[in-house]
Amino acid sequence: MEAKRKIEILSTISLSEEQIKQIQKLDERIKLDVYKSKEVNKISDEIWKKTEILFTSGAYLPPAEKVPNLRWLHSSYAGIETILDSPLLAQPGLLVSNSSGVAVSQMGEYVIMMLLNLGHKLPQMIQAQREKRWVEDKHISLLPKELRGSTVGIVGYGSIGREVARQLYAYGATVLASKRDAMQPEDTGFTPEGLGDPLGNYFHRLYPNEGLKGMLKDCDFVVLALPQTKDTECLFDKEMFEAMKPGAYFVNVSRGQLVDEDALIEALNSGRLAGAALDVFSEEPLPEDSPLWAQPNLIITPHISAFSTKMMNQVVDLFIENLKRYLTNTPLYNLVDLEQGY
């Protein structure tokens, strides 16, 4: 009797014993090799050659000739812009998927936190505390901008934007959103059950990308949640910031390359923007001499919005769910359109 073909899986993402058992139970044909990302140099040529499925952060991708049997690559990251130029991804028939959607809960909470911090002037109050200064004109300089009754614009209505909209619903804010294909409000990507806006119920109006400037003029708060592509790089430049409502607030949880940081500083200094929060930057770590550090109305965080104690388990859970789909010839979640870049 002919032996059953092995399904060779190579993970350069650390897995717990329980996760390894979960994967191995899915199919008796599975052979799983697990290495830490820093141990890729220990992976033998024989293992690379046999690998059919690669679960990786993308920190190292082998040349195509090293993995002739590779059929599916799953990235542990949502954004794959750092590996798009790899010749490996250009191999005919290769399935590429990402982990978009797994961190939407914590990223939604991060955005809400920043909207509240900015609107309620927390940075100014913390600065006054450091100076041991009681703010005498508090009824003027510290007058808050409430979320209730405000208009929040979400630029990019993918998994993150949809979860932000869902969480904003409780605050009574009006949500406007922009999306490349505004004629399809439903979500086709992966989102954990009970989160996000799969049917498109939480926005008040959906704009196509061409209508973005028209949307911005009505927004008290703007949240940037687009993927980084050739089309979105430096999207928020001087012209875009000038299109925003005077005194609005800006939050970026996408990629730093989408924002002209000099134009942002100019908008903050001129008062066009009342404040901003950035979790991502064009250069990371943010250099010590960056003028962004000195902006009093800017909150800076070190690309942390997606992280939580649950994050890596969530990433592995999605890989296991996709592996079930792969084994049953069911379409995978989060298949990447390499031409679009996400």
Catalytic residue among 39, 239, 284, 321: 284
Residue with tokens 């969480």: 167
In sequence order, what E strands does the chain have? 7-11, 30-34, 53-56, 72-75, 95-97, 151-155, 174-179, 205-208, 221-224, 248-252, 273-278, 298-300
Burial class (CB in 10 A: 0-12, 13-18, 19+), 171: middle
**β-pair partners for 176:** 153, 205
**Angle, alpha carbons 204-176-139 (nearest 5°):** 105
Looking only at Cα atoms, what is the longest distance across the chain? 87
What does the pLDDT profile of the chain (342 residues) look like in tens digits? 445 789 999 999 999 999 999 999 999 999 999 998 888 899 999 999 999 999 999 989 999 999 999 999 999 999 888 899 999 999 999 999 999 999 999 999 999 999 999 999 999 999 999 999 999 999 999 999 999 999 999 999 999 999 999 999 999 999 999 999 888 899 888 999 999 999 999 999 999 999 999 999 999 999 999 999 999 999 999 999 999 999 999 999 999 999 999 999 999 999 999 999 999 999 999 999 999 999 999 999 999 999 999 999 999 999 999 999 999 999 999 999 998 888
CA of residue 199 relative to chain centroid, distance: 20
Burial class (CB in 10 A: 0-12, 13-18, 19+), 164: buried
Catalytic residue among 52, 255, 261, 272: 255
284 carries an active-site annotation: yes
The domains found in the chain, sorted by start residue, are 7-102+310-327 (3.40.50.720), 104-300 (3.40.50.720)
The answer to whether 163 and 107 have CB atoms below 8 angstroms apart is yes
Catalytic residue among 71, 120, 303, 325: 303
Q: What's the N-to-C CA distance of the chain in angstroms?
A: 44
pTM: 0.93
